[in-house]
Amino acid sequence: MDKERKKALRRRAGWYAIKIFTDLSGKLPLSTVYIIGKLLGRLTYFLVLPQRRIALQGLAIAFPQKTPMERKVIARDFFIFMAQSSLELLHILKNEDELQRVRIRGEEYLKDALSKKKGVVIFTAHFGNFPLMSLKLAKKGYKANIVARPMRDKKAGDHFHELREKAGVKTIFSYPRKECVNGIIKALRNNEIVIIQMDQNFGTGGVWIKFFNKLAATPVGPIIFALRTGASTVPAYIYRTGEGRHSLEIMPGRELT
């Protein structure tokens, strides 16, 4: 079987899995969703070798002082966390009342930034169950936009896009570039929130900065958008505090000049 056919079969299987888990997670209690997520995370850790290898390589850079076994435990727990977070997200998308268990701290900083009527760029990262940030803000009545890469599987991408739209979250796709730039500027000029994850390698389009003593291309686009529109920049992150409970931490914003 050639590579392209294998990829097509994997994507089709992935699509059916997404559909099943979307329906299943929405109907089951959250406690059961966590149990399934734990089992799925363990299974993924042992079966998906390329991603496990990448995780262990990253942990070796971040924690050189830890033993290989300690890093394996961290990697396994990360796979479990990601599986639980993914199923939890699907559950909440079908049960939006669960968002009341997401607490916001520092909301006054966001309100103050929006009061300037020039939009807000939220700087965040792949930390905690990060998609819940946009869902919570939309549930509170804020006009929230996320910048996301288009998924390789169009069916899966359209599925998640539709779920986000139903939850009140607008998506600005990072490609094509021109449409992305126009979408971000338009949202900011409408005094909306644009959420951008900064911890991604942006290749030749970024500024090279050392992270863990390794060069990584850090995006400068969000800074340029803020300068061009006068939007405030607000750092924020979200983390889990217990089963089904999260804390969204918003920090003081600043205007760039």
Determine if the pTM surpasses 0.85.
yes
Domain boundary among the residues 94, 112, 147 is at 94
- Record the tokens describing residue 148, joined without a space: 């996301």
Whether residue 108 sits in one domain with residue 77 = no
The domain total for the chain is 2
Domain boundary among the residues 61, 94, 127 is at 94
- How many Cα atoms are found within 13 Å in the side-chain-facing hemisphere of 226? 23
Give residue-wise pLDDT tens across range 90-138. Answer: 999 999 999 999 999 999 999 999 999 999 999 999 999 999 999 999 9
pLDDT mean over 198-220: 78
Domain boundary among the residues 41, 67, 94 is at 94
From first CA to last CA, the distance across the chain in angstroms is 57
* Reported confidence tier of residue 201, pLDDT bands at 50, 70, 90: low
Question: Across the chain, what does the average pLDDT equal?
Answer: 92
Whether residue 106 sits in one domain with residue 83 = no
Note whether 184 and 146 are within 8 A (CB). no
The whole-angstrom separation of Cα 56 and Cα 73 is: 10
Whether residue 210 sits in one domain with residue 122 = yes
Confidence (pLDDT) at 155: 86
Whether residue 137 sits in one domain with residue 44 = no
* Domain span holding position 163: 102-255
